Amino acid sequence: MTTSVLFVCLGNICRSPMAEAALRQECARAGKTMIIDSAGIRDWHTGNPPDDRAQAVAARYGAPIDHLSARPVRVADFRTFDHIIAMDNDNLSNLKSMAPSDGSAKLSLFLDLLEGRNGQDVIDPYYEADEAFETTWADVVAGAKALIAKLS
């Protein structure tokens, strides 16, 4: 069975679509197939493309995300995805409280994938300067590589 992964952040317009794009790119490089999606805890940006600054960084690294469209996490996600990976600790606690009793998805924190970053948040770049999106990109690429290694 193909492994399925859902990345979750607050708005689904910065961190989680960047993580989605990074994992797609790293899977392509590694010759792996995964089902990959992203969603937000909140529905504020439903139907919107990722933030322009996230689009710019992802395009610069060859992983365009302009076609993506934000959506909120759905209860069904807990039954259909193998892994739901939160970009920060608040997202993870929200996911834990939303999870239905028959949910089968494994919930985890993104930076727990990286040695030395256990328990850390992928910092939300939304309210930050453009440079913060470079840091986010570096984090999501490192996490994507670690996830592929872990699932291989």
Residue ranges that bind ligand 4NP, judged by CB under 6 A: 9-15, 44, 124, 126
Single out the catalytic residue among 51, 88, 124, 139.
Answer: 124
Residue 61 or 126: the one with the smaller Cβ distance to ligand 4NP is 126
Q: Is the dihedral of CA 100, 102, 108, 110 positive or negative?
A: negative
Options 9, 27, 37, 77, the catalytic residue: 9
Residue type, 56: A
Which CB sits closer to ligand 4NP, 26 or 124? 124
Smallest gap from residue 69 Cβ to ligand 4NP (A): 13
Kindly state the smallest distance separating residue 86's Cβ from ligand 4NP, in Å: 10
15 catalytic, yes or no? yes
Query: Tokens at residue 26, please?
Result: 């790293």
Unique residue bearing structure tokens 């317009």: 13
Q: Which is nearer to ligand 4NP, 102 or 127 (CB)?
A: 127
Is 66 one of the annotated active-site residues of the chain?
no
User: Of 40, 30, 11, 1, whose CA–CA distance to 144 is shortest?
Assistant: 30
Distance CA(94)–CA(116), nearest Å, equals 24
Q: C-beta of 101: minimal distance to ligand 4NP in Å?
A: 27
Give the residue nearest to ligand 4NP (CB).
Answer: 11
- List, in order, residues 6 or more apart from 31 with CB less than 8 Å away: none
Question: 27 an active-site residue?
Answer: no
DSSP string, 62-97: T---TT----B--TTHHHH-SEEEESSHHHHHHHHH
Q: Residue 42 forms beta bridges with which residues? A: none
Task: Select 11 or 103, whichever has its Cβ closest to ligand 4NP.
Answer: 11
Taking the complex as a whole, the smallest distance from the CB of residue 50 to ligand 4NP amounts, in Å, to 8
Show which residues are catalytic.
Answer: 9, 15, 124
